Amino acid sequence: MTTLVTGGVKSGKSRRALELALPFSPDRWFLATATPFDDEMRDRIERHRAERASSFSTIEEPVAIDVEVRSRMIVDCIPMWLNNLFFSDREGEWDAILGRFIARLPDDVVIVTNEIGMGVIPADPLSRRYGIALGLANARLAAAVDRVELMVAGIPLRVK
The CA angle 130-48-19, to the nearest 5 degrees, is: 95
Q: What is the maximal distance between C-alpha atoms in the chain?
A: 46
State phi, psi for 96 to the nearest 5 degrees. Answer: -70, -45
Q: How far is CA 151 from CA 49, 84, 88, 103, 138, in A?
A: 21, 24, 30, 26, 14
48 catalytic residue (yes or no): yes
d(CA 63, CA 93): 10
Q: Which of 48, 84, 112, 138 is catalytic?
A: 48
d(CA 106, CA 78): 17
d(CA 61, CA 118): 28
Any idea which residues carry the catalytic annotation? 48
